[in-house]
Structure 1
Amino acid sequence: MQWKQITDLVQISEIKNNEGYSLIFKHSTRCSVSSMAKRRFELDWEAIPETTKLYFLDLVSFREISANIAETFQVHHESPQILLIKDGDCVLDASHSDISAEEVAEMINN
């Protein structure tokens, strides 16, 4: 599996309009906790169905996009943070040590 970088606001509209599941990982490149959460997530992400679209946001470089994500999906901004989007709606929002590939897989598979 591979991350698709979010670098443009247009991509948020595309994610909102995607059918099925998309996952956004908001990552602070300046934060060791964020790096640890990302690494732990990637170690277990084989549990996530391959049909899930995986998006990665460097929120230090793209603060405006991060704010747009929070507004679009009606979640409080956190870092690190994952958002699981199903048919345009956020169905899971987790941050810090609550970020879990297994939980994401469970949500998708149920």
Structure 2
Amino acid sequence: MGFLDIFKTPRDLAKEEIIEVPWHVLSKMEQLDEIREESKTNPVAIFKHSTRCGISRGVLKLFEKSYSLTDNQLKLYYLDLLENRNISNEIAARFKVQHESPQMIVIKNGVVVHHDSHHSIEASHLEKFI
């Protein structure tokens, strides 16, 4: 702690501890084709989040606290379910994974290799796919 840190608020200090998660927003249907192609060279994960759900918000916060991978290891997409329900429905149809919320789907070589929902979602589960 430096001398100037005495002028920082607890919120400022907390922000310094936050590690930014390299989210990519999934908001266009055509991105699903890109995701399938990307997954052939690097694993891809999609986090489906309901912004009005307390459970989803809690799972997202815990996930972000423990996530440590880079874009070069795994590309991480964020899907706002309330804004993009049609994309969520297409993910379920295209990748043959029943919709849940919150949900984490891992795609490798064009197919789903893992998925979790609710409190089963953990950042450490993704490490085995890199």
TM-score by length of 2: 0.78
Counterpart secondary structure, 1:7: coil
Specify the SS of the correspondent of 1:93: strand
What is the root-mean-square deviation of aligned Cα atoms in Å? Answer: 1.1
Q: Which amino acid aligns with 2:33?
A: S
Residue of 52, 57, 65 corresponding to 1:35:
57
Partner of 1:68: 90
Letter in 1 for 2:116: A
| Displacement of 1:108 | 1.7
- Which amino acid in 2 is paired with 1:26? K
2:19 corresponds to 1:7: no
Q: What percentage of residue pairs aligned between the two structures are identical? A: 38
Q: Provide the secondary structure at the position in 1 that maps to 2:30.
A: helix
- The whole-number CA distance in structure 2 between the counterparts of 1:41 and 1:84 is 15
What are the equivalent positions in structure 2 for 1:63-102 lying under 5 Å apart? 63-102=85-124
> Mind listing any 5+ residue stretches in structure 1 that lack a counterpart?
none
Query: In the TM superposition, what whole-angstrom CA distance separates every residue of 1:52-75 from its partner, at most 9, and x where no partner exists?
Result: 111000011101000001111110
- Counterpart contact for 2:22–2:71, Cα < 8 Å: no
Q: TM-score, normalised by structure 1?
A: 0.92
Give the distance between the partners of 1:78 and 1:72, measured in 2 at CA. 15
- Name the CA distance, whole Å, in 1 between partners of 2:71 and 2:85: 28
Deviation sequence 1:34-89 (CA, Å, 0-9, x none): 0011111111111x354211100001110100000111111000000000111211
Number of residue-to-residue matches in the alignment: 107
Larger relative contact order (Cα-Cα within 8 Å, sequence gap ≥ 6): 1
Larger Rg: 1 or 2?
A: 2
